[in-house]
Structures are given as structure tokens and as C-alpha cells.
Structure 1
Amino acid sequence: MRVVEIRRGWIALGLFSLVACSPGDEPASVHMHGAREGLRHSSSNEEPETTSVEANFHDRATPPRAPGEFDLVTLSTLPDAVSDGDVLVGLRGLSAGDVYSVTRNGIDVTGAFQRVPGGDVQGLVAELAPGENRIAAEAVGPDGRRRAVLRVINHSITGPILSGPHQTPFVCRTREAGLGDPLDADCSIATQYEWFYRPKAGNKYLKLEDPYAPYPSDVTLVPGPGGTNVPLVVRVESSTINRGITRIAVLDDPHARGPAAPFQATRWNHRVYYAYGALCGVGYHQGVNRPETVLDGISGSPVFDFHSMVGVDQRLRKGDIVVHSTLSTFGVQCNPLVSIETTMMVKEHIAEKYGSIAAMIGTGGSGAAVQQYNAINNAPGLLNGALPIASLADVWSTMMTIADCGLLTHYYDTYAPNWEPMKRAHVEGHAPLLGIIPREGICKSWSAPELRSVLDPQRGCDPSVPEAMRYHPVNNPHGVRCTIQDTNVNLLGREPVTGFARRPLDNVGVQYGLAAFNMYLISAAEFLDLNRNIGGFDMDGRYVHERMAMSPEVESILYRTGMVIGRGSLSESPIVDMGLYLDQVPGASIHDAVRPFIVRNRLRSRVGLDGTQSIWRGNAVAPPEAYPILEQWLAPLSALPHGTDRARAIVAAKPAGATDRCVLLVSGTRTEMPENFDTGRGPCSAMYPVGYTPRMVAGMPASDDVVRCQLKPLVRSDYRATFTDAEFDELKAIFPNGVCDYSKRAAQDVEKSLAWPSIGGEAPHAPVGLSYRAARSMPVP
């Protein structure tokens, strides 16, 4: 184990509330703004002989070109987010007879470019300097000489790019991952390669000590090119990208090509299967994975293992690249910006080192599902599609349930130990429709110590973080605070007095158990006692009688940056959500059946359509069965005309197999059938009804996305159940400032969140959205 202390840089983040734009303002640094305008002239620091246009995030398409014009565009990543000193660049619109040249900072690099099928010219521009670089292209054709200049920003492979200063301290874990000691303070390793084969018997890949020697006789054969059978041998690249340990697996045949021939991904089908990691941890360490993670689908997780369900071996056999990174594993660091940043950097690496990517599909369950929804909503084009399992919408609306269930459990234990399970279920919202009493209440799972620990700065640390580093209010008040807000402090900022990370939790005005009271399932006395004593958690995760309050500035950050999803690009990539029914499984029941429908209701309320998401429910749903259907769904979306309404195009392209369905395994027989979940009249709706969250019981809309409500005065006629005069006076005393008005959106809500939100690297700034700038050629005098 190695512990490194590096740059902190957090003091400036306290300025976020002072410099952040209001929802209606234009952000600073206009060249980084995510607005999708058409043609615009260069800003003053760009070359006068070029013009910028906005490329589509999904396929890099640009507005129509006039005769003779061409575009210069980065293909492997956004031009402001290049990493590791190289970037794949394309020249689009050249005629067959045009003579072209390309320079990097004035140095000729034309030799790296060639024409590709379709007529475009592509090349890998290497040896970029740190920071800003200038890539220029000239072409001479029948219409004369034209020139385009594109500015790109190159960052270190260690990051950061989007997520602000690196988290410190940071425990290196390369040795535990079998990769030796780290080479530097960023926990880097020299890239390593290993080869594995799949024997005909058994369910594990075995390592080839000499990959160029004849393979063992029991190697599995799989279909290859031209109807041949080829050995199932996989090359695993292990490297560090954005400080995360990254494993990339792809089919290879080293014995056939021999040690003298360089590796080429000739057996790759140009699809990437990105296996995100589950859970929710607070970081301060690198995390550990193994080659098995991208071979057998074995994660080594001690809890319900969704990773084993994603079917990585099936995708390897079909020719996909399979990827896993410890820094796109929420169980290591539950930070949405770090996840997007890591995925972006890994995708760039694959595009530049392996070849062009036809589609990248995300998969994984729980925290891995959160990352997929987060990526699709906030980083359009990063994932082409997703196969989440046991979904949760996003970190901060999910944290409402963790806090609420923790408070409700405390209330039952302290004030209402005699409340029977069904009464509790009505208040929690998780089981009123089930008609049965669960083996354990779902709120009991939600308030489990391992989940609640993300609110406790002393208990939230991974075991790899030494005790001596950890916060203690008396013995080590300046130690590492292991909370969910601390792992997101770059975005959230710090409290000015305590220096603690600002926490996005608020239950001011929330009427817990409101629907249960209005349905006469709890009495007025019980409703009043519950809301009088529900309380909150202080910044050290301890119960206090006061409720929790969020600042308007923090609320604004959550909505503006898309950390509460639904206001971004959520409808721009097809999703098949694997709604595995877990409501009756102790511990795993936090993945209650309502969660995919929360996302669906956000699509309905924000986009006006929900057909870009398909939900497969039941007890036998898993990504391997859905992948071919998602593949079919993606096929017509690869080359949409510029300006197409992408969400409606996705709905129009939806194949019959992608409709909502119920998937059941009964007595060993697997049955699939379409189901309209809106009607509540199918087998899954009957067997596995959908409940609510505690906030929905308190009046929250089904989108479950009002993290800080607006308040309204108490009005007696708002309640279907009755109060005595004394009881209503007591209710007014409990809520002196009013109660939540869920007929209104949150005060700081926005119509559109930032696309590709960024707070920068080691020099942080207020959140802005990155754009996909391309350079359009102009005539050269």
C-alpha cells in the first residue's frame, strides 16, 4: 500500500457560490459552453483564418457544408478534453482529388493521415504538448486553397480534466491488484499485457504463460471469419487511466501471428461493452480489480453481485471489447463527474489505440446503473446505449431515500417501537400495494450501516484508508472526512465556517406519512408525532431533532450540472432497463421496483415521451438477452442527418423486441411476454407491484426529483383526513414556515442542464458545459 498526499486546491471552491451563474445566465468561458448553435466565428484567441461550428455529440456530424468546404474535427474525444498526448483527428468533406496537409503546432504530420472508407481523411496526431495545441489542415482542390485550424487542449493521462482537483489523500492499490508498486504519486503503472484462454471444461479463463506457444489442447473454439473456428484467447491490457486501474479485454490470436508481429485488433467487432462497478463509496483510494473482472464477470464483491450477471464472456466471444475501471466503480468513489471523466478517457484510449468505435454500451447494476443514467443524461454521446440492472436514478435523489429511511428507522426504534410492519410500510411507501408483509421492511435495508456510513465521516472510509488519516471530532478534527458530500466537494464547495463539504440533503417542510394519513392508515396523532420527531442528521451523521436544510446555491448546482438527472440528454440514447425484482430480498431490496419508473416519469415530465427507455421486469432479466435487441435498436441511429430530433428518432427506430416486457422463470421455464405497465394488468404487475419512496408518500411527484421543496402555508382543506382544532394548531407549530408545495418545481430547477458539465482540472472554475467544436475551412488568399 502506498499513500500519497498531492495538491489540495479546495480553498478556491468556496467561491463557487459567488461565481456560479444563475440558471438563466450564460456561463463564463463561452468557448466551453455546451450550446448547440450552428455556425459561429472564432473568438479572439483563435486563428482568423478559421470558423468554428458545433459538432453533434453523438456522431460528430456538423451543419451542412458549402461546396469546397471541409471540417477539421477530433474523433476520439472532445477537443477540450484530449488526454495522453494524442488525439484522433478527421478531415470531413474533402473531394477525392483534393491535396491536403496537416500540421501540429507548425510541424508537418500529414504522414499520419490516410483516407478511410467513405472518403474522409483520418490520422492520429501524437506528441501534443501539455495544454493548448494548434492543429491546422490545408486542402487544395478545384475551388482553390482552404484552411482550418482547431485548438485542442491536452491533459495528462492521470487527469483531472472535468472533475476538479484530485481527491487527497489517495491510497495506491496497484500491488493488491497484482500490478506491482506504483511508479508515481498518481498511482501509475507501466502498461501490462496478459493472455488468457477458455478451456472447454470449467467456467474460468486460464492464463497463458507463453501466449506464442501452441495453445492447450482443451482450448474452446468459437466461430471466426469465413466460417472457421478459432481459439477463444483473450488479450487483457492493464493500465492506469485517470488514476484508476483499467482492464481492457479483446480477442486475439498471438500464437498465429507470432511474437514479431504487432498486435492489431483484427478480431474486434468495434463495439465496446463498458462494465461499470456497483455500490457507493467515498474514495481516498484507487480501488482494486482483476483480469477476471473483464473475462469471467467475477468482481469479488461481498454483496449481491450484479457484475456476474452482465455477460462479459458472451460479449467477448462475439468480438466486443470489454472494459472495467476502478474509477468508474461507484463502490470506490461515488462521484458522477469522476465516472464520466474516467469513461471519457478510457473511450479515447480505445479509439486511439485499438480503432474506431461503432458503439459503446454500458452495463452493470445498482451504482453501476446510476453511472449509466448519469452518463447518458450529462455526457451525450459517451454511451450509445445502456443495459442497467437494478436501477437507481442518480446519487442525490437516491440519497433522499437513504436519509429518510435512516430517520424513519430511528423514529420507529425510539418513538414508535409498537408500530406494526404494515403500518411502517404504508409510511415508507415500499409495500402498501404488495398485499403481504415483507420479510424485512425495505427501509431497514436502506438504513443498513454500510449505506448510512456515507453520511458518517468516521465510518465511511474504505478499510484501505489508514485509521490515522481519518477524521475524529476531537482527536483528528482535520482528518479525512469519509462522506458522500466530501467525495463530491469539488462540485459542492465547502461550508464557510466549518470547512466541511456542503451536503445536498433537505427535509424542511416534508410531511412524512402524508398519503398514509389521508388514507386513514395512520391516525392524526401518529402523523403529528412522526413529523414532530423525525429530525435529521448533522454533518457528522448523528441524529438531531432539527431537520436538514440545503442552501439554494447547492440546490442550483445539482440541477444546473445534471446531478439530478432528467434535465439533460436522458432521451438521446436507448436504454433497456433490467428491472430485476428484489423487493423481497433482504439487503438487495434497496433496488425496489419503483426505481426504473422514477426515470420513466422524468422522461415523461421533462421530454414528453418515454419510449427511449424499455423496462424488462421479472425474476429472470439480465443483459445478455437484451444486448442483441439493443444492438438492433442502435443500427438505424448511426448516421442521423444533422439537426434530427434524436429522441423521436430513437422512438421511431425502436424494434418490436424492445417493448416493455415481463420475464419470468417458473419451475425452470423462462417466459417472456410484452406488458403495458401503465395498466397494471400483466403478470409482473400482479406478482410484483410497484410501490413508492418515502418522499412520494409525503407528496413528491412520481419523478422523485425535488431535492429541496418550495413551501406553502398550511391549509386545512388540503387534507382528506381530519384534524381537531388542537391537532391542526400542533401541525402549524411543527411546520412554522409551511409545508412542501409539490405542485411547484424546486426553486432552483432548470429546464436544461449543462451538456458535458465541467469544473476543470487542477485549476477549478464554476461549472460550464463543454462543446464539441469543429473547425470549418475558410479560403486562403
Structure 2
Amino acid sequence: MADLHVALVRGREDMVTGGNVVVAVSGLDADVVDWTVAIDGTVAEVAVHPDGLLVNGLAEGPSTVEVVVDGQVVSSVEVINHPITGPVFSGPHVMPFFCTFEDFGLEPASDSVDSSDCSAVTEVTWWAHHQDGTWSELVDPTDRTTWPVDLAVTHETGGTTPFVVRRERGTINRAVYDLTVVDDPVSEARAPMWNGVLHYLFGGGCGSGRTQGSIMGSDVLNAAALANGNLLATSTLNTFNTACDDVLSAETLMMVTEHVVETVRDPRYVIGQGGSGGAIQQYLINQNYPGLLDASNTLVSYPDAFTVSPGVSDCGLLNRYYGTPEGSAFTAEQRTAVNGHGTPLFCAAWAATFLPLASPTVGCHSSIPAEAIYDPNENPTGVRCTLQDSLANLLPRSADTGHVASHVDNVGIEYGRDALVASVISVDQFLELNERIGSYQPDGEILDGRRAADPAVVEHVYATGRVNQGGGSNRTVPTIDNDLYSDFAFDIHDRFRTFSIRERHRLANSETAGNRVIWTQPGGNLLVSLGGTQNDLDPVAAVATLAEWLEALDEAGVGPTTRGDGVAPTRDQLLAARPDGLADDCLVDGTHVVGDEVYDGENACTATYPVHGDPRTAAGAPLANDILKCALRPADASAYGVPFTAEQADRLTQVFPDGVCDWTVPGIGQIPLRGTWLRY
């Protein structure tokens, strides 16, 4: 039998989409014998592709792609094809779903079988980059005589490639995608100058879904990145402000990457980049769907949405309390100590941005019509715009309400514990605060008493990967984390999140994993943080540095293109492959303080950029801040190091009848990941 082997160039055999797939046929006889490709016994429609053959005409569902010699199948691969509209593994399409492709100037697809698929006609435009840094669209890109006389080249000194960019927009997985790359309109080969880096952009925010959405903060016409030779890509469902759904983001990343493979060629490396919610997506994709990203550049990072949201809801409770006569007596110093942040402005910023996601009626995307939104009396089956309701495929429902269950729990939380221990607030203030703090209810209202999350729901959240536990490839994917310090500003991006992630990603021997460096620079405010650049912090240079790191790993035989299945680089291999000079980097008064110990101990960096926390860490939670529902121990007045009267001690047990948090043990329901590549 002929020595021939057929395999997919990229991706999983059971997760092919769009009716086509790129395969490579290899073996000793590949160039010796005559062979053909068939699908389930019928000669396939194929096209020559830079990486092999593009096989078209796959029916939805299972098929077998076969290599045939003299009527005999000598090699085959079974694939499962899914619609280009999805879903693949994210679960059934959530309905209703509101389209926004017209906001991008796209036309509806005439062959769409369901308007809720939000399918649009693919649009290709060509753009010229001018020497003054501006862009203009080329009306007739194939006629070079119409190109602008001040057309730039891709490198200001010594470059010769005309700075002309192909931009493609369309719909995949019900998302609007956007791709750009330096290209030649008359070249037979697509993007001949592409360096093989798929520079994938993830937008921030945290939206409540049910919409095709928008793209926020992801500029695919980034001249510096394009000049470097990168192919830039993003989509509306890789913008967390559209849907705070990391599984849907992972699925869309996979499908858009497959589209790049099929229409251009297989990327050398897929490198993610994005801040805030864009960082969350990368960490959870690396944990839950390892292999989709080869490297990550995260900015103003959060570990995940689920361990951040309890502190956000705490801000709402604390802000309400500070509006009472007793709470209004708290000074700015006392509020800062209770809140845990560097300034009370952080809770104000949370209230102005993402706290509305606690209410099913307030945090809805602008594309969702008012008449479609939930109302407990007028429209009880309407769209609910909370974080948990946007994840109906990923979370269980409450037996009491029928709505998607929340993970938020504040039973046993000793609000202001550290402030009491430090004698910043009095015992009476501590007791009054905790007695009256209240809790958010399913419809976003605040009522007296604490809220207890169902332990089964909490366990499900951990098991299915909504909490960043450092799983998957999070300890092996090269990562540069850009931290813009704004702990004393009106912002929501606090420094301690970066170190919370570091704690969660430590190895079993407590060493850092060796795959992540942190670059720290001064920030400013919320807008600066969302922009992701400041001083000489260059996101494009970060991606180029990550590509160098990956190349070194490949040369060592443990990189994305050279290691075998199931093989990951060790800590020593990751450290050895770092580009020269790459390490933790802290900019202090214009000077870079560099080294892997720069964030430990007392030094200029830690003095300039102190780490704070949030209401949970100020209540005693560890730096990892990964406990959603704490285990309890009996309340003990002697545990605070300040004197309680007998009456105050008795009141303490009344305020905490079930006990207070015991942060020295794992939380209730805090279990390891069930696995990776889960389907819903």
C-alpha cells in the first residue's frame, strides 16, 4: 500500500466549520504515485493551497476525507463539519439575538436561512496608508496609477513595500469579524508579505450578550502592527463588552483562525492581545481551550469575571451604606480602608461602569429594543441583562426563580475587617456596617440580610472553568502582562489583579511558572487604562517580543510548531528561551528597573507602585482572591486584636450567626477544573 497520510493542517477533526477544510497529504509516496481526494467515496472538490489542499463541499455533520490510490483508500481522516454560523461547542444559539452588522455598513446575506443568524455579505476593501499617518480607501486598487502620490512604505527607512492593506469584514459564528494585512491587489498569492503572525485582538468590557454587538478598542488598522507584517484580526464576539462569554469568544477565535487558514495560509503563531476584559478572554481561553493561542499580551489584567464580580457588588452595597446617616460618618480614610482599593474613587468607577450588570434591566446593550427587556410584571420572559443571565448555556438555573443562578455570595464576609484590626474604624462602626450591609437579590434590588449562593452552582462555576485557576496552558503560554498603575485614580483596573493572577498560576512548589513577565508603568485614569498605551509601553513591540520567544522555543523543540502532542515547555525551558533582556520590568521615574525579583520585597518599584485590594481582600481574603463562597468558622471577638465589650461580643455573634469566613481553607465548592475543551 502506498505510503500516504492525510491530516488537518490546523484544528480539531470534530470541529471543522463552514463546509471546507485544509488538509496536507504527506508520506514517502506523496510525489510518486497518483492519488486523489474523496469525501465519503465521492471525488472531492479541491483547490491547491499553500499548506496543502483546500477541500470543499463538506456536508454538515460527520464525513470522511479520503486519499485514494487506484480505487483504494490508503489514508483517511474523519471530520465533523459545523455551520459557519455556529455553534460548535458553546451550546445552542441563545435567543432572541439582535443583529448589528448594518452598523458596519454590511449587507444581509441573501442565502441566510434564519435572520437570527445575522449573516452578512463579505466585504473586501483596500486601504492606503499615507506618509502623514492617515488612511484612505482605494477606489480601484488594481490600478496603481490611482494610488496616492504620498503612499507610505511599510518601513520608514529602507522599506520598499507599498503600504496597501486588504481589509475583509463579514460574519462568522454570528459575529462580525474584521481582518487586515498588507497585501498586493494584483498578486496571485494572498498576503505574500505576511510574516505568519496572526495578531488577534480582544476587546474589553463585560456585556450581557444577546446581540451581535460592536468592536471596542481593537484597531485592525494599526499601522505599526501592519508594518511589522502582522495579520490583524478581531470580531464583535471577541469584544467582552458585547458578551462576557469566554466560551463564545474561544469558539469565535477558533472559527476566525480557521477562516484565515483557508483563505490565506496557516499562521506561524497566533498571538492574542487585549486589556481588561480582553485579558480575561485570553486567560480563560488558555485555560479552557488550550492550543488556540500560542502567546498572550494582556493589559490592565483581570483573572476572570466571576471572582471580580463579588467585589463589584460589594462596592454597590458599600456605596449604599455610605449614603445612610451612620455610613456617611465614615471618613475618606475609613472608606478607603474598608473598600480595600487605593481610593474610594474605585467603587465610584465600578458603579459608573459595570455594577449595572447586577440588574436584569439596566445593563442591556443598546441594540436590544426596550420592549424586549425583562420586566417582572409586564415582560417576565423578556431578556435579562445580568452577567449570569448572559451565560445561559454555561450555568445552571435557580430552582426558586427559573432564572440563571448567580454565584455571588456574601455570607460570612467581615466587611472592614482589616480596617478594624488596624484601628481605622471602631468596633461599633464595624458591627453596624456588617449588620446593615445587605445583599443583591436576583432582580438587582438590595435587601437586608446576606445572600447565600447554592454550593452546587459554585462548584459548577469552578469545574467548568469560569474561574481562572491557572489550568490548561496558562502556565506555559508565553505572556507579557502590561500593568498601567492607576490605583489612586478614577479607574477600575487595580494593580492587585496582576498579582492575584501570579498567585493562581504558581507551580506546585510555589515558584512562578516562568512563562509570564509583568511590565509596569504609570497609568492615569480609566480612559488611559482602556487605551493600553502609556509612556514607552508599546503593544506592537510586545507582540514582536512574544514572537521571538516562540521562535526560541521552537528552536529548542518545545515551541508551537516543533513540540509533539501533549508536550509543553518546562519552567527552565521557558526561562532559557526568553529573548535577551526580557524580564519583569518596572518604570520608576523614567528608569526601567528590570529583573525577576523586582516585585518582591522592599525596593523602588514596590514603593512607587503599592498593591492594594478590593472589599474581599480588605475582609481577609488572600491575594489570589479566588474564593467565591467561603467556609465558615465561629465568630470570635478575640480574633481582631482590639477590645470588645461583652455587649459588642454578643452583637458580633448576632451579626454573624452562621460564622465568619475562614480564608485559611478552600472555599465551599472550590474544586479543580473538570477538563478542557468542554462542550455545552
Identify the match of residue 584 of structure 2 among 648, 655, 660. Answer: 660
Q: Deviations over 1:610-650 (max 9, x none)?
A: 22111001123341232232222111223135554434232
Identify the match of residue 602 of structure 1 among 504, 511, 522. Answer: 504
Structure with the larger RCO, 1 or 2 (CA within 8 Å, 6+ apart): 1
Identify the match of residue 476 of structure 2 among 572, 591, 606. Answer: 572
More off after superposition, 359-368 vs 743-752: 743-752
Contact 2:593–2:605 at 8 Å: present in 1 too? no
1:421 lines up with 2:307 in the alignment: no
Q: Counterparts of 1:290 and 1:194 in 2: how far apart (Å)?
A: 21
Number of residue pairs matched? 648
Question: 2:102 aligns to what SS in structure 1?
Answer: coil
Contact 1:376–1:572 at 8 Å: present in 2 too? no
Task: Calculate the aligned-residue CA RMSD, in Å.
Answer: 2.7
Q: Counterparts of 1:194 and 1:170 in 2: how far apart (Å)?
A: 28
Cα 1:604–1:722 change in 2 (3 A) is: farther
Partner of 2:650 in structure 1?
729
Once the two structures are superposed, the pairs formed by residues 629-648 of structure 1 within 5 Å of their partners are: 629-635=545-551, 636=553, 637-638=559-560, 639-641=562-564, 644-648=567-571
Identify the match of residue 127 of structure 2 among 184, 190, 196. Answer: 196
Letter in 2 for 1:82: V
Once the two structures are superposed, the pairs formed by residues 215-364 of structure 1 within 5 Å of their partners are: 215-223=147-155, 229-254=160-185, 257=186, 262=188, 264-289=190-215, 293-295=219-221, 312-364=222-274
Letter in 1 for 2:41: G
Partner of 2:58 in structure 1?
128
Identify the match of residue 78 of structure 1 among 3, 7, 12. Answer: 12
Letter in 2 for 1:368: G
Once the two structures are superposed, the pairs formed by residues 456-471 of structure 1 within 5 Å of their partners are: 456-471=359-374
Contact 2:250–2:289 at 8 Å: present in 1 too? yes
Once the two structures are superposed, the pairs formed by residues 402-441 of structure 1 within 5 Å of their partners are: 402-414=312-324, 415-431=326-342, 438=343, 440-441=344-345
Partner of 1:46 in structure 2?
none
Q: Counterparts of 2:466 and 2:570 in 1: how far apart (Å)?
A: 21
Question: 2:392 aligns to what SS in structure 1?
Answer: helix
Q: Counterparts of 1:359 and 1:442 in 2: how far apart (Å)?
A: 37
Q: TM-score, normalised by structure 1?
A: 0.78
Partner of 1:104 in structure 2?
39
Question: 1:726 aligns to what SS in structure 2?
Answer: helix
Q: Deviations over 1:57-113 (max 9, x none)?
A: xxxxxxxxxxx9976543332222111011222456656677465432122349657
Contact 2:204–2:239 at 8 Å: present in 1 too? yes
Contact 2:297–2:481 at 8 Å: present in 1 too? yes
Once the two structures are superposed, the pairs formed by residues 496-507 of structure 1 within 5 Å of their partners are: 496-507=399-410
Contact 1:133–1:152 at 8 Å: present in 2 too? yes
Contact 1:80–1:152 at 8 Å: present in 2 too? yes
Cα 1:748–1:210 change in 2 (3 A) is: same
Q: Deviations over 1:672-719 (max 9, x none)?
A: 644634434343322221111221122222111111122223345543
Q: Counterparts of 2:120 and 2:330 in 1: how far apart (Å)?
A: 56
1:179 lines up with 2:82 in the alignment: no
Q: Counterparts of 1:708 and 1:126 in 2: how far apart (Å)?
A: 50
Contact 1:132–1:154 at 8 Å: present in 2 too? yes
Contact 2:3–2:27 at 8 Å: present in 1 too? yes
1:490 lines up with 2:393 in the alignment: yes
Q: Structure 1 residue 559: deviation in Å?
A: 1.1
Q: TM-score, normalised by structure 2?
A: 0.89
Cα 1:162–1:115 change in 2 (3 A) is: closer
Question: 2:127 aligns to what SS in structure 1?
Answer: strand
Contact 2:215–2:239 at 8 Å: present in 1 too? no
Once the two structures are superposed, the pairs formed by residues 513-528 of structure 1 within 5 Å of their partners are: 513-528=416-431
Contact 1:98–1:139 at 8 Å: present in 2 too? no
Identify the match of residue 739 of structure 1 among 651, 660, 670. Answer: 660
Q: Counterparts of 2:399 and 2:484 in 1: how far apart (Å)?
A: 44
Identify the match of residue 614 of structure 2 among 684, 693, 698. Answer: 693
Question: 2:208 aligns to what SS in structure 1?
Answer: coil
Identify the match of residue 88 of structure 2 among 152, 161, 165. Answer: 161
Cα 1:216–1:695 change in 2 (3 A) is: same
Identify the match of residue 399 of structure 1 among 295, 309, 322. Answer: 309
Q: Deviations over 1:160-184 (max 9, x none)?
A: 1121122222221122211134544
Question: 1:646 aligns to what SS in structure 2?
Answer: coil
Question: 2:411 aligns to what SS in structure 1?
Answer: coil
Letter in 2 for 1:220: A
Question: 1:404 aligns to what SS in structure 2?
Answer: helix
Letter in 2 for 1:705: D
Q: Counterparts of 2:283 and 2:509 in 1: how far apart (Å)?
A: 15
Letter in 2 for 1:273: H
Q: Structure 1 residue 520: deviation in Å?
A: 2.1
Q: Counterparts of 2:538 and 2:591 in 1: how far apart (Å)?
A: 12
Structure 1: segments with no counterpart, 5+ residues? 1-48, 50-67, 117-121, 296-311, 432-437, 760-781
Q: Counterparts of 2:638 and 2:199 in 1: how far apart (Å)?
A: 54
Cα 1:528–1:320 change in 2 (3 A) is: same
Cα 1:606–1:75 change in 2 (3 A) is: farther
Q: Counterparts of 1:292 and 1:568 in 2: how far apart (Å)?
A: 27
Contact 2:218–2:234 at 8 Å: present in 1 too? no
Contact 1:282–1:482 at 8 Å: present in 2 too? yes
